[in-house]
Every structure is written in C-alpha cells, then in structure tokens.
Amino acid sequence: MAAFADDYMILPLSDGGQVLVAWVDNSTTAVLAWRAADNATEAMTSSSVQMAATSFLGNDFANAVVNNATLDPFQKALQGTSNSSQDLAMTIMQLSNGPFPRRVLCTGAGGGGAYATLCAVWAAVTFPLAQVRHITFGAPAVGDELFSWSLQQLVDLSYMWSTPGDTLPTLPVVLPLPNVLTYLQDNDTR
C-alpha cells in the first residue's frame, strides 16, 4: 500500500523495496529516491544474471540491454503493482497537480542506485524538457555499453559515487558491462 502526503508518496516495489516520490522547489522538481530490498543488490549481481531490453528507451537505443533483476521491479513501478494502482508517472502528475516537472532528481544507494539509474533514463525520455539529475552511491552496473551511452546522452548530470571502501558486488566477467568503480561523470549534453 502506498503512503501518501500532500507533497510526497512512497510506492512499494515488487522486490520489497520502495521509491519515495516527492514534489519540491515551489512545484517544479520531482525527486525520486529509491531503496532496494536488503537482498536486491546480491540478486542484481548474481552469477545467473539475465539481460533484457528496456521498453522505454525508444528507437535510438533499442538494442541496449540491462540486468533483468533490476529492470523487472523498476518496470513494475512504472506500471503500478498489485498493492498499488499508482504508477510512477501518475504519481508525479498527481503530486504536481498536472504540470510536468522542470527538473527530475533520481537517487539511491546500492540496489536503489541501480533503480535510480533506470529511472534517470526513463525520466529523460518521459519528460524531455526537464533537466534530469542522477546521483547514486555504491550502485552496481545496470546495463551494457549501449545503455551506458544512453545514460550519457539523455541525462543532463550524472554522478555515480563509489569508493574502494564500498562493498560493491562485482558482475560476472562474461557480461560486457562498464565498470562503475570510482566512476564520476559530469555530462552536460543539453
């Protein structure tokens, strides 16, 4: 069941995590803070990782693939879960009383950071006039090089923080995923 207040809503994820959706800065900014379930990061990086295409990237990045353990709960948040009829876009529109956001901030730590990465790309496609910001802490890699490129091209500002002291699970070596350890990117494409 979703928790609701005038300026924020907490939606459950199918894996037991949550996303806090808030409307701030005099009704111009949507903030989406992702929290994964305790075991989600391990599931995202297990040796049985399955890759899948996203449905929201469009034709330019149609061949990009992402970790299905990350994608499945995120897509269910986009569609709404059985516990909640609220989907992500509907929640943002309800909190804003109609107007599209001028800015979107997607953030999370660990597995929540992986969801925030998907969310940033989705927000850039869904709200093309908005400035999208993406900040993660110790998040595992989400997709292949084409997905990473889509993040760089679509998202205005992206910071993926991790340090050698973070307990970042590694992805199976057989997958062609970019390394995010000590990665910091400032992308200004708009």
At 25 the pLDDT is 66
- Whether the per-residue pLDDT at 114 is higher than 70: the answer is yes
Of 14-18, 51-55, 126-130, 181-185, highest mean pLDDT: 126-130
**What does pLDDT average to over the chain?**
78
Which residues are registered as beta bridge partners of 114?
Answer: none
Domains and CATH numbers, the chain: 3-161 (3.40.50.1820)
Residue 89 has phi, psi (to 5 degrees) of: -65, -40
- Whether the per-residue pLDDT at 104 is higher than 90: the answer is yes
Band of the pLDDT at 86, cuts 50, 70, 90?
confident
Q: Bigger pLDDT: 69 or 120? A: 120
Band of the pLDDT at 66, cuts 50, 70, 90?
very high
Query: How are beta strands 157-161 and 65-67 bridged, if at all?
Result: unpaired
Q: Which positions ≥6 away from 2 have C-beta within 8 Å?
A: 9, 10, 11, 12, 83, 84, 86, 91
Once rounded to an integer, what is the mean pLDDT over residues 181-187? 32
pLDDT tens profile 128-173: 999 999 999 888 888 999 999 999 999 999 988 877 766 554 444 4
Query: How are beta strands 103-109 and 29-35 bridged, if at all?
Result: parallel
At 21 the pLDDT is 92
pLDDT tens profile 53-63: 888 888 888 89
CA distance 142 to 180: 10
The proportion of the chain whose per-residue pLDDT surpasses 90, expressed as a percent, equals 31
Instruction: For residue 100, count CB atoms less than 10 angstroms from its CB and return exposed for 0-12, middle for 13-18, buried for 19 or more.
Output: middle
pLDDT tens profile 26-43: 778 999 999 987 776 666
**Residue indicated by tokens 């660990």:** 110
At 184 the pLDDT is 30
At 178 the pLDDT is 41
